[in-house]
Every structure is written in C-alpha cells, then in structure tokens.
Structure 1
Amino acid sequence: MGSSRFGRLTFLFIYLVDISVEQSSTQWNALNATVQGRLIRGVPFARPCFQLTNQTSGTFDADKCSIVIQDYLNESVRVDTFSAYMNTQWETCQTRMSQCLLDASIPSNPDAFDIPHVCSQGSIPEYGIDVRTAENVLAGYNFSKAHSMPLVIKNTGHDYKGRSSAPNSLALWVHNLQSISLNKSFVPNGCNSTEEAEAVTFGAGVLASTAVDFAEANNITIPTGADPTVGVAGGYLQGGGHSALSNTLGLAVDRVLQFEVVTPSGLHVLANKCQHADLFFALRGGGGGTFGTVLSVTTLALPQMHVNAVQVSFDPVRENQKRFVEFIVKHTVQFAQDGWGGYIAPITGSIILANSVLNSSEALDSIDSLRSFIVEKLNGNFTFVVEPSYKSFLDKFEPAQPVGTEFTLSSRLIPLTNFQSDASREELASVINGMLDTVPFMYLAATTPFLYGDNPGTSVTSAWRTSLWHFVIAAEWNFNSTVADVSATYKSLSDAVRPLREITVGSGAYPNEADLYEPDFQVSFWGSNYEELLAIKKKYDPDHLLDCWQCVGWAKASSPIFDCYLPL
C-alpha cells in the first residue's frame, strides 16, 4: 500500500516538473536557470480529467485522470502536489467560477469534468519555485519586483483563507524543506551561552506527523495541531498554533526560540530575542506569508509526557445537543482549571479531551461530572485511557479533517467573563443553542493557553490568554454551486457568528481559522499589537511584495491579487 501511494505521488510530481520546462517563456526560462531548474508549472490537480481547457497547461489523459480520481480526497497526495489545496475553492476564481474541480462527494462523477466543462487556472499560481535555499527565495523576490508579479508563499495547501494562492502569481513552495534535528543544548544565535535549552530545529516543510514521530523517537514532546499534514513551521505556527495541550503548554509561538527567515528587503537572518527581535516578535503570531519566507524554526523540546485521554459520544438529537451545551458551558471553567483541553463537537455528539498534568486518579475524579452526565443523562459512551505519549494520543484520537472540498469557517475566542455568572453562562448557552438549527458544523476548541498564561514576547491577540474556547462554525458547498450560492454560504456564517461577537465585546478571533470577512480584523486578530506589527512589516517588506487577505498591511480587496475573492 505505501509503495503504491508513493508511486502515484512521484508520477504526479514529475508530471508537473516536465510541464514547467516545456511551457517556459524566455523570462521563465531565465528564472528556472537561476533557481537550478526548480521552477514548477502550476497545473490544476484535476487537469487530466478535462478535455476542454481555457489556457491551462497539460492535456487530457484518461489513465492519469483515474489516478486523480482515486487520490482526489487523499490528504497526503494533495500535500505533495504543488497545485493542490485542501479546501478547493482556493484553486478556483470564485468571482467567475473559473475552476478545474471534481465532485468531492463522488470524484468519478463525469458531470464535473465531461464536455462542456472547461478546466481553468483559477487562483492556482502560474509557477512555483521549489525552494531549497535562501538564494531560491531571493530569486523569487527579485523576479516579482522586476515583473510586477504577485507573490505568495505555499507550504502544504492548508489555508482556510486563500493566502497561499492567487491568480497570475508566482509561489515560493517551501514544502520540501524537510530537515529536522535535535540539539540538547541549543543557544539562540547572539544570545548568552547560559540560556541553553533542549530544542528541535525543523525545516519549513516538516509536517506535524513527522515532528511528532521525531519527538517520539527522541523521548520528547512537540505539541502540534489536530491535522497530521499541516506544516508546523508555516502559517500554523506563525499565526499562533493551538493544540489539545495548549491550555497548559501554550501556543506553538510560545515555544519558538529562533526563526531562519528571508525577508523581502533582501535579508537572510536568524531572528530571536537577541537579534532581529522585532522580526522575531512579528513571526510569533503576526501571521504567515507577511514578513518573510521562513526556512526553518527552532522550538523548545518538551519532556516526554503521558496524556490522560477522554472520548465521549452521544446520540446527537437536538434535545441532547442542547442539554450538552448547557452542561459544558457550566463546567468549562472547572475543566480548564484542572488542565483539560481538546475538541468538543455538539452537533455530531463527540468529544476528545486531553490532560497531561494530572495523574490518572486525579484525572478521573476531575472529569467524573462529564462521565456521569453523558452515561446517565444522555445514555452515551464515555472512554478514559492513559496514553504514554502525545503521539499515541494523536494516533488514537485524531479528529477528522475536511479534504478536497470547498469549505469555510467563522470563529470567535470566548473569554472567561462569559462563563463567570449564571446569567452570562445562560446567555452563552442560549446563543450557541440558537446556532444548532442554522449551521451544519460546529466545534468548541478548548485549545486556548488559559492556564499557561501571558507571553508578552508573542504578537497574537491577548484575547487568546483570557479565553476558554476557540469557537468554530463551518460550512461547505458543491463544485457546481453558483456565485450566488457561495456568497450566501459565506454570508450565512458571518451572520451566524454575529451574536457571539455581540456578547464577547473586546475579544477576538484566530486569523488562521477566522471568518473570511472578519470585521475590524486588525483588532480582532492582533489587538493592541497591530500598529507595531505594521511598522515591522514596512521595515522588512518596504516594497510590499508580500500581501495576503486580511494580513498585516493588507492592501485591501482593491488590489488585483484579490480579484477572485467574492465581495459581501
């Protein structure tokens, strides 16, 4: 099975490289030579299935199409394919429904790709540089400047907001920066030698699964998010980075010791608290694709630790959902204070919780109210186990992620104040229960650094530190949805989360998983840090080479790079 999948990956990758060479213009040939032949043509993932095309490279090929169909929902294949994204609306131009998609519900459905359907480039970058060195990045910057070419940074294709794709653009593809090493006495460059710590340095393309496997092999812990194919040094970390253990261990940015980064101003530096401290601050929460191209990250290696794990399921009929919401709102403060974190999904009737600070007896006592409520009141299932490591926890309890679908989110950080009185809890539960009939997907991520506390060296909004939940709702649509349908989906999510914004005044949202049309995004994502971040942006990217939707220094939707975003 493994070798067969690898064969398909290699086949698709070579296909892209061959096309890039065949279709190069004089300018692209020159760039290709400058980057040692690492220029890749951005051929739509589903291109082989289409007989008709609109100025898109590649050809119809039934045999290759069968491979695409087989792998269309395969997360690993999409990660390793330059032109593929996890949420496929970012392969399209949504304003014109210019796309090259299959039917995610039935990829073999010919209604998606047979004549008269046309394969179009959409928002897939025209070309990408398969980055292996700082010089490759600088070549991309210089080409973008010389030819006024929009530039994006792409890693694995995990991006709910489309920041790593853009029409008529060049991409810096960092996925193949796969180095990883352990240093038991790491000292950040330029810092005092007495500040050594055990640390792991990994390339920008290293996946969460690779980092977790490496940690297991070296008897350490590297907390990551729930999806094994997210690049841990990319937008995940640079935007904050939460996990099931964030309550006690902090966000990913809390553990970073050093970045190796190439800035649009032409610098190749090691940024840490002792040198380029302003850039270090910006990269610790200011967002990916904004301040430079990160080549590697060094982060604290935490000791190996056990994980008390709880898995709960119940029949998600509406009455059970509402009773559960009322219960979890009432008990969330106690669970957080005892060190629990995890993922709570009222609509599907499922919960995954983790705790690495209590022993098994203490953990069972702490969570007994949940057990009794689920088993005795909802007639559900409650499982408690002690896993010896974070890897073994993830291997057994990893929540499923949407792949190959058009999928979008809206979210809000829910602060402690909403849980502190009977009236505020009742109000919060009422708002959430009111959403159950209007949104198809909801999860309450108990992944905030509540017990971990403040970290002034990071640039994430302070709302992370005072919140108990990262509350998320989501929706998806079909390949054949109209512009009006898609606009209505975005609007419905924005409207649905408005009551939460109204009862959480002064809080914020997580930029990586926020509403695409987040109001007052500068304050919502970064709070009082925004003006400092903007000054740092101007310092290290004076020509504004890097721009992305609702990122620091965003040039607003009037820029041509955002032509494919729908206006609401």
Structure 2
Amino acid sequence: MQQLSILLLILALCVNAANSLNCRCFPGDSCWPSSQEWTDLNTTLGGKLISTVPLGSVCHTRGDSSAYNEHACAKLIADWRFPATHYKSCTSPMASWFSNFSCDPFMPRDSPCTVSALQRYTVNVSSVEDVQTTLRFAREHNIRLVIRNTGHDYLGKSTAPGGLALWMHHLKDTEYLLDYTSDSYHGPALRLGAGIQGFDGMAAAHAQKMVIMAGNCESVGIAGGYSQGGGHGQLASRFGLAADQVLEWEVVTAAGQHLIASPEKYSDLFWALSGGGGGIFAVVMSVTVKAHPEVSTASAILTFSGAFVAADTFWNIVRNFVVGITPMVDAGAVAIWAVIGKTFSLTPISWPGGTVEQLHNGLESTLVLLNQSNIKYAYHIQQFPTFWDSYAAMNPHSNITEAQVGGRLMPRSVLDSDTTRLFTALREITEMGVVVSGVSLNVSRSPEPFNAVHPAWRDAAISVVLGTAYNYTNRQEDVRCQSLMTDVLIPRLTTISPDSGAYLNEADWKQPNWQSTFYGSHYPALEEIKLKFDPDHMFYARTAVGSESWVEESDGRLCQV
C-alpha cells in the first residue's frame, strides 16, 4: 500500500512537471509567483501593477471579487453599452462573450463574481522599460502575456485568463512631422503613441489642417489591432487601408529589444506588423503614419423601412443602392450601411473630394425607386469644408456591438456578375433575425503597398459583417447563435466568394481555416517572421499567427498542442 502511494505521488509530480513545461503557469499552480514576487514587480515598475477587479463586481454579493453597491451597479448597467466604460478599464472586454459570464452585471446579484475569465494583473505601461521589465517577468515565470489598449476586440485577442497584460492605453503622445523622409515616402506624417484613439489622432491631424486614417468607431485605437490588422474607414477609398499609411513602427520585441521597423530597416517585421494582425509580433510603442491635406467632403445619410411593401420591392432597392454607388466608391467614396430586419440605414456615405451634386446624382436612382414605391425615407445630404467637419456631423457615435460577429470580404466580381446570389443570401440571412452590415469601398492600389494585408482586400467591393444576438443572461442561447454563425451563415457567404477571405478584426473567432481566411497567401511568410522575432511564442492571441500551436483549456489555461 505504501509503495502504491509513492507511485501515485511520483505520477502526480510527473504530471505537474509536464503541465509546467507544456502550459503557461496558471493561478493556483506551484509555479505561480508569490505575493511577494508580485509586490517586488510592482516596486520595480514604480507602482504600475494593477490587480484585476472585474467591473461587474459592484453588482454581485458572492464570489472572491464581489463588492456589491446598489447605486454603482445601476450606473454600471446604464453605462455598459458605452465604449468608454470599457476602454477606461484595463480588463473589461467589449465583446462580453470573452468574460464568460464570470462577473456579469446583468446576472443575478447572488451569482458568483470571479476573475477567472480575465488576466490577473495588468501593467499600466508608460515607457519602454515598463515593457522590458514585464517581458522579463513573464518569461521567467512562464506566464501568459497579452497586449491591450481599448478592448475593442470581437475575437478575444486582448483577453488572457490567468495572465498578465500590457496596458498601452495611456501612451498618448503625438508628434507632427512636416517633412518625413525615407526611401519610400517624402511628406507630412504623424507619430502616434500606442494609446492614441481615433478621436485623438484625428484631432491632432486636424490641428495641422491634415487628416489621417481612423476607424468609423471613433474610440478605436489606431496603433493596435486596427492598423496592424488592416483597418478601414471613411477615407479608405481615397487613401487606402490604415496599414497602407504606416511609415514605421516603434516596438519592443519578445527579447526586449527596442527598435524601429520600417521598409528600410527590419523590413520583414515592418511588413508583418502592417496587416498581419495585432499583438503577436512585438509590442508596439508608437506608429508613424502618413498625413494628408484636409479635403472638402460631401456626405449623406439615408434611412427607410420596407415594413409596408413587398420584400422583393425592399430588397430590389437595397440591391440598387449597393450596386449603384460603385462608380462613386471607385472615385473615393465609402459607404457604411446596414439592414436590420426590414430597415435599411446608410450612416453615412462620405466622399472626400466629391461634391453634393455628384453624390446626389449617384444616389438618385435609389431615391427614385423609393418615391415610385411610396416608401417614406429620411435623407440628408451636405457639403462640408473639411473631412473633420463631415465626420463630426454625420458619423453616429458608436456604442459597443451587442452581437456575435462574422464577416466576409465580397469581391468586386460578385458585385459585377453575381448580384442575384449575393442579395438572395443577404435577404435570407436577415430573415433569420441576423443583422447584415456592409462597408462599400475600393482599396485596390497599384503598385500594392509593401505590407501583409490579405490580398483579398485589393479586390474587395464590400466588407460584409453579420451579427447574431448576444444574450447577457443565457449562455446556451449565445452558444446557439455562435454556432449558427460558424456553421450556417459564414459558409453561405463563402460559397458565393470561395477565393476571398475575411477582415481579421471583424470576423468569426471560430472561423475554420482561419489561416487562409484571415491572412491568405501571406500566412507561411508571417509564420517565419513570427518564429524569427518571437521563437518562444511570448505573444499569443486567438486566430493570430502561430496560435494553432496552442490550445485554451476550459479554465482558460494556455497549453501547447
């Protein structure tokens, strides 16, 4: 009996040893740093280490992290859908799926509040040294590391259960460079700290009578997953994707090296960072992007309902709109549109460099059909002296997306010659209660920019994003809706566009064959660069380059395959 106990003990030690070698160290493991070691790290960082307290703790009376406060809970629920609620936090993901109901303010207050779905600690980064210190600590203790700015993230890439986060949000420096010069570019540029959001960057550019690429959602960070993943917006048809604007990246590598990656130096790293996905190749401290002179902009919004007409009539008008704006899109316009049930909304179409007359002429066929069908509509069109003025007046403030998303880049060839199949599919999808949204744009460029943006972008006419409902209190229903996205909806669009791909920032996090779908033919080269600059896989994110070498266990523990 004693021999059996010894054998079992040896076996248990072997299993623990194997786990420590093959998995990142997890809270509760013997390898997890002691309280004193965390205190020492905080001292080294000058008090910048933050212990995680979930936002929802004020709504719960049970659990290790509960701190019930009726007034604070009511305010949190009222503010939950505002992006600022989450981007001012160092832990809260805007896509609630990745909180895994662990401390949800919408759940009963006696349901337990735990930190199990979130990182345990966060470093509020203010310097290169902070990043280097954190990297050393994470490597020494084999802890899962994640990079976070705002939490705008549909795929859970900035969430790390049981891990340690680098919070880049307060790196807010900007610098205008009147005469940036390199072998590949000569002109004005703007250097942006890693924490700069769209509204920060556009304001800094506007102060110089310039514009830069930023997202349609004004609170999205520019230097993070947005530009590193491609990045579209209302200036995309005129200037290209956000990744196309990048002139250089200031980074800290996994080895702790502080360097500048540009087309001339560390060109492979520059290429990978510019479109190959965020948070996976290095820690970005700042990005330098092209700045463009301000431009007069025509913009319009349009809303109408098909509730009182035949579905065929409604969808014929939607189809006419999407196909009919193609010449304007080719000339520099971008349209953001959506169909929710039987309602169509355009919010907005922007044409930098276009006139009201040109824009109205391009929309006239849609307006004629609406009038002929006796459909009431709300329509406003206006000329603005600058893009900044147009964006401020016509772009609605974006709240967090309460949906589970999936996406597909729809090629121009489909819009030109296969529109019946496309709009039949979109109609059937909306009839299943799913939101259909589209960004109509043209980011083809000749010659193509030197970056890792999925080649399918250059032939894309629409970035289609679908949204299924998210239920804050019913996980089973959320799983059903997520499965619908993966198993039914996205395959339907893929059948129409088999050789295309998806925008890796607005896609299904359970997308099969994500390597080819998100990265296309660039994936093998991206893998090589990942191994060159991060051979030990310090940086991990779901569906990111190299992530197939790892698996998340049910408790969030990250283990090698």
Q: Same fold (TM over 0.5)?
A: yes
Distance 1:406 1:343, change over 3 A: closer
1:27 to 10, 26, 37: 37
Deviation at 1:358, TM superposition (A): 2.5
* Number of matched pairs: 518
The match for 1:414 is 410
The match for 1:308 is 298
The answer to whether residue 284 in structure 2 is matched with residue 294 in structure 1 is: yes
2:376 to 362, 374, 379: 379
Deviation at 1:563, TM superposition (A): 3.6
The match for 1:127 is 121
The one-letter amino acid paired with 1:350 is S
Question: 1:390-440 CA deviation, whole Å, 9 max, x = no partner?
Answer: 22222222245342x75321110000111223xx12121211112121143
The one-letter amino acid paired with 2:76 is V
**Separation in 1 of the partners of 2:88 and 2:171?**
12
The answer to whether residue 104 in structure 2 is matched with residue 101 in structure 1 is: yes
The match for 1:327 is 320
Question: 1:136-183 CA deviation, whole Å, 9 max, x = no partner?
Answer: 111121111111111100100100000101210000000000001211
The answer to whether residue 461 in structure 2 is matched with residue 471 in structure 1 is: no
The answer to whether residue 241 in structure 2 is matched with residue 251 in structure 1 is: yes
Contact persistence 1:262–1:268 (CA under 8 A): yes
The answer to whether residue 172 in structure 2 is matched with residue 178 in structure 1 is: yes
1:370-519 equivalences in 2 (<5 Å): 370-377=366-373, 378-403=375-400, 407-421=403-417, 424-450=418-444, 452-453=445-446, 455-482=448-475, 484-494=476-486, 495-519=488-512
The answer to whether residue 67 in structure 2 is matched with residue 71 in structure 1 is: no
The one-letter amino acid paired with 2:41 is L
**Separation in 2 of the partners of 1:426 and 1:396?**
35
The one-letter amino acid paired with 2:232 is H
**Separation in 1 of the partners of 2:430 and 2:86?**
32
The match for 1:163 is 157
Deviation at 1:113, TM superposition (A): 3.8
The one-letter amino acid paired with 1:84 is S
Distance 1:433 1:131, change over 3 A: same
The answer to whether residue 529 in structure 2 is matched with residue 553 in structure 1 is: no
Question: 1:85-118 CA deviation, whole Å, 9 max, x = no partner?
Answer: 22222223xxxx5x11122xxxxxxxx2422x11
Q: Secondary structure at the match of 1:367?
A: helix
TM-score w.r.t. the length of structure 1 is 0.86
The match for 1:534 is 527
The answer to whether residue 199 in structure 2 is matched with residue 209 in structure 1 is: yes
The answer to whether residue 134 in structure 2 is matched with residue 140 in structure 1 is: yes
The match for 1:218 is 208
The one-letter amino acid paired with 2:509 is L
2:68 to 55, 60, 70: 60
TM-score w.r.t. the length of structure 2 is 0.87
1:34-45 equivalences in 2 (<5 Å): 34-45=44-55
**Separation in 2 of the partners of 1:557 and 1:135?**
28
**Separation in 1 of the partners of 2:315 and 2:483?**
25
**Separation in 2 of the partners of 1:38 and 1:248?**
41
**Separation in 2 of the partners of 1:263 and 1:182?**
25
**Separation in 1 of the partners of 2:216 and 2:554?**
31
Q: Secondary structure at the match of 1:85?
A: coil
**Separation in 2 of the partners of 1:321 and 1:25?**
62
The match for 2:94 is 86
Larger radius of gyration: 2
Q: Secondary structure at the match of 2:277?
A: coil
Deviation at 1:66, TM superposition (A): 4.5
The one-letter amino acid paired with 2:105 is L
Distance 1:562 1:411, change over 3 A: farther
Contact persistence 1:310–1:382 (CA under 8 A): yes
2:109 to 82, 92, 114: 114
Q: Secondary structure at the match of 1:233?
A: coil
Q: Secondary structure at the match of 2:463?
A: strand
Deviation at 1:65, TM superposition (A): 3.4
Deviation at 1:556, TM superposition (A): 5.0
The answer to whether residue 517 in structure 2 is matched with residue 524 in structure 1 is: yes
Contact persistence 1:156–1:230 (CA under 8 A): yes
Q: Secondary structure at the match of 1:172?
A: strand
Contact persistence 2:162–2:556 (CA under 8 A): no
**Separation in 2 of the partners of 1:544 and 1:282?**
15
Q: Secondary structure at the match of 2:231?
A: coil
Contact persistence 1:223–1:390 (CA under 8 A): no
**Separation in 2 of the partners of 1:399 and 1:120?**
35
**Separation in 1 of the partners of 2:422 and 2:152?**
31
Deviation at 1:63, TM superposition (A): 4.9
Q: Identify the range of structure 1 (253-262 vs 73-82) with the bigger mean alpha-carbon deviation.
A: 73-82
Deviation at 1:319, TM superposition (A): 4.7
The match for 1:11 is none
